[in-house]
Structure formats: structure tokens, C-alpha cells
Amino acid sequence: MPNFHIRKATPEDTPTIFNLIYKLAVYEKLENDVITTVEELRTNIFEKKFAEVLIAEEDQKPIGFALYFHNFSTFVGKPGIYLEDLFVEPEMRGKGYGKALLVELAKIAKERNCGRLEWAVLDWNTPSIEFYKSLGAKPMDEWTVFRLDKEGIDNLAK
């Protein structure tokens, strides 16, 4: 992978991160769900440190990213890393860049003594599912993801 590298994102990368998030949303047919702003991302990622981001670059041009944060397993008794988003530009796929991002995340998880590295994938995204399985990841078929959106949180918190 000549001229390819992965680096930690900086606050100056926030517009790029936003752009890559939007491209991921388009790919997942969820672009109407993107309601964040560049400024909100900058605040929550770099000031409040709720998440971390790796940027993948080829010839110093951003071509992908991984956004992740820590969770905690009570059963394992250790922190884990939850990969919220992984995206590589469609024209750059098949070069090993997605795998390289996951390898870098695995190294971070190992350095931080994490017990797990986990993520979710849409049921229809067969190419990604097969890719993750090829890396040794196992689907957690017996689990169902639940979510409260902002309205649900507001209602429950009343």
C-alpha cells in the first residue's frame, strides 16, 4: 500500500470527518438522518473527547475513517472499543484500507488492554458482513440492538 497511512484525526480534520460521515450515510441510504454539524462534531470529538477518529489517507488525501469510543464489559471486567463508523471511499475499496483501519483499531484495543472490539452492521450490507467474517469477527445473532432517539430519551426522562 504505497503512499497510504493512517493517522489520528485533529480538530482541523472536522470538516473532512463530517464529509466522510455524510458519504457513509448516503451509502447506507440514511443521509436524512445526518443532523449534526461540523461544529458539533468538533466540540464532541475534540473538546469533550466523547469519541476518537482515525483518518486513512492515500497520497495525503483522506479516503476513509474510523470513529470509535470506549464502552465497558461488566462480564469481562475491562473496557472495550466500539467502532461506530468505518468507511472507505467506494473507489478505494479492495485495496486493503478497511482492513488496515481495523488492524489499527485492534492494536489500539490491545495497547489499552481492551476485552472486546465490536460494531454493528446493517443486515442488508452483505459485502461488509462477509468482509468482517473473513477477519474472524463473529456476528452476535442472539442480540437485538435497542435505541432511544432524542424524543424517546426526553419522554423517558420526564
Q: Which tens digits make up the pLDDT trace of 10-30?
A: 999 999 999 999 999 999 999
pLDDT over 80 (residue 1)? no
> Exactly one of 22, 68, 82, 132 is catalytic; which is it?
132
Residue 40: phi and psi, rounded to 5, are -65, -40
Q: For residue 105, how many other CB atoms are within 10 A of its CB?
A: 21
Q: How far is CA 23 from CA 81, 112, 134, 145, 154, in A?
A: 23, 30, 24, 23, 29
Please give the helix or strand (H or E) that residue 71 lies within, else none.
strand 61-73
Q: For residue 7, how many other CB atoms are within 10 A of its CB?
A: 13
- Helix ranges (H only) for the chain are 14-27, 38-41, 97-111, 126-134, 150-157
Q: In which region does residue 29 sit, left (phi positive, over 0), alpha (psi from -120 to 50) or beta (all else)?
A: left
pLDDT of residue 154: 96
Whether 22 is catalytic: no
pLDDT of residue 6: 98
pLDDT of residue 99: 96
Residue 157 CA, chain-centre distance (Å), reads 28
Superfamily of chain region 4-157? Gcn5-related N-acetyltransferase (GNAT) (3.40.630.30)
Q: Which tens digits make up the pLDDT trace of 35-92?
A: 999 999 999 999 999 999 999 999 999 999 999 999 999 999 999 999 999 999 999 9
Q: Which tens digits make up the pLDDT trace of 103-139?
A: 999 999 999 999 999 999 999 999 999 999 999 999 9
pLDDT of residue 57: 98
pTM of the model: 0.94
Q: Give the pLDDT band of residue 2 (cuts 50, 70, 90).
A: confident
